[in-house]
């Protein structure tokens, strides 16, 4: 379902990731016009990489927009055309965590902030982990300062529930994993 768009103008558009657009819209059957700002985004994948000891590969990374350092999961933009999310996830896991996985499972697909952006997060579970070279990919900017570390899943779940870890996709991934595990919907490691 889409409401009628009377006019649209770009406030910002670049050739990297995002565009900021202002739309003038109406409600169906009502003549009143009003504006909404939309952040166009190609979407992202998020990888919950869990090893045989039920530890999760985490990253600590500074994010300028919020001015904070976050505990995150390997993730990246869906910026390679029509590449399936699992292929993007494989590349991001290799580039950011120097890991590859023999087992992949979609966990969740969510809108990060549907009121302002069309960005979708596809969250995938990666199991059967082993070391993989990142090849010629070079970590730059904030990624160059990124720290990789393993956290036991139970400790990470506690950190989520206590509010010590607040990065949205990580919280969603850990909670859905815990629910699926409780329901017996995940294969045992």
Catalytic residue positions, numbered: 143
Angle between helices 153-161 and 168-182 (to 10 degrees): 120
Closest to 110 (Cα-Cα) out of 176, 178, 13, 186: 176
H/E/C letters for each residue in 2-44? CCCEEEEEEEEECCCCCEEEEEEEECCCCCCEEEEEEEECCCE
Q: Would you put residue 13 in left (φ > 0), alpha (ψ -120 to 50) or beta?
A: beta
**CB distance 71 to 46 below 8 Å:** no
Residue 127 — φ and ψ, nearest 5°?
Answer: -130, 175
Query: Tokens 């103008």 — which residue?
Result: 9
């Amino acid at each position: 379902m889409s409401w009628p768009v009377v006019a649209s103008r770009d406030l910002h558009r670049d050739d990297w990731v995002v565009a900021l657009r202002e739309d003038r819209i109406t409600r169906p059957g009502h003549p009143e016009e009003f504006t909404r700002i939309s952040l166009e985004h190609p979407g992202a994948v998020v990888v919950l990489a869990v090893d045989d000891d039920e530890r999760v590969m985490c990253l600590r990374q500074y994010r300028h927009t919020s001015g904070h350092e976050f505990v995150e999961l390997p993730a990246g933009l869906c910026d390679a055309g029509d590449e399936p999310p699992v292929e993007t996830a494989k590349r991001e896991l290799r580039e950011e965590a120097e890991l590859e996985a023999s087992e992949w499972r979609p966990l969740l697909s969510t809108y990060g902030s549907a009121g302002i952006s069309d960005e979708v997060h596809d969250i995938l579970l990666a199991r059967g982990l082993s070391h993989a070279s990142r090849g010629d990919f070079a970590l730059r900017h904030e990624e160059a300062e990124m720290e990789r570390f393993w956290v036991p899943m139970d400790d990470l779940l506690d950190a989520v529930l206590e509010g010590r870890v607040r990065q949205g996709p990580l919280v969603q991934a850990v909670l859905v994993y815990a629910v699926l595990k409780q329901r017996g919907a995940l294969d045992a490691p």
